Amino acid sequence: MTKDDCKQVVLDIIADIAPDEDLSNVKPDVRLRDQLELDSMDFLDIVMELRKQHGIEVPEADYMQLASLDSCAEYLTPKFTALGK
């Protein structure tokens, strides 16, 4: 899975948990919470969906790694690769 694929996975999850958000102009290098109306529960939903849909565990200590789309891709790409995706 490429970094762009990982970004799309995160965007798809956000679209599911926050359907009213406009994701067409999300900047990859800006914190998601600074661009979107995401609260801490929404963020936890993203983490839970990564586990439920893709089998990826994100320990609480690593939550800051998911701040922006770019950082999500950096963090998640090796995890998807390890799962053979």
Domain ranges for the chain, please list them.
3-82
The answer to whether the predicted template modeling score (pTM) of the entire model surpasses 0.85 is yes
Q: What is the reported pLDDT for 71?
A: 97
Contact partners, residue 76, CB within 8 Å, separation at least 6: 6, 9, 10, 50, 56, 66
Using a 10 angstrom Cβ sphere, with 0-12 exposed, 13-18 middle and 19 or more buried, the burial of residue 41 is exposed
What pLDDT is attached to residue 2?
Answer: 95
Among 80, 63, 57, 58, CA closest to 4: 80
Residue by residue, what is the 3-state secondary structure of 2-26?
Answer: CHHHHHHHHHHHHHHHCCCCCCCCC
| pLDDT < 70 regions, the chain | none
Token pair 């801490």 in the structure block, residue = 40
CATH of 3-82, one of 1.10.1740.10, 3.40.50.2300, 1.10.1200.10, 3.10.20.600: 1.10.1200.10
pLDDT of residue 32: 95
Residue 49: per-residue pLDDT: 97
pLDDT at 85: 82
Q: Which residue is listed with tokens 């963090």? A: 75
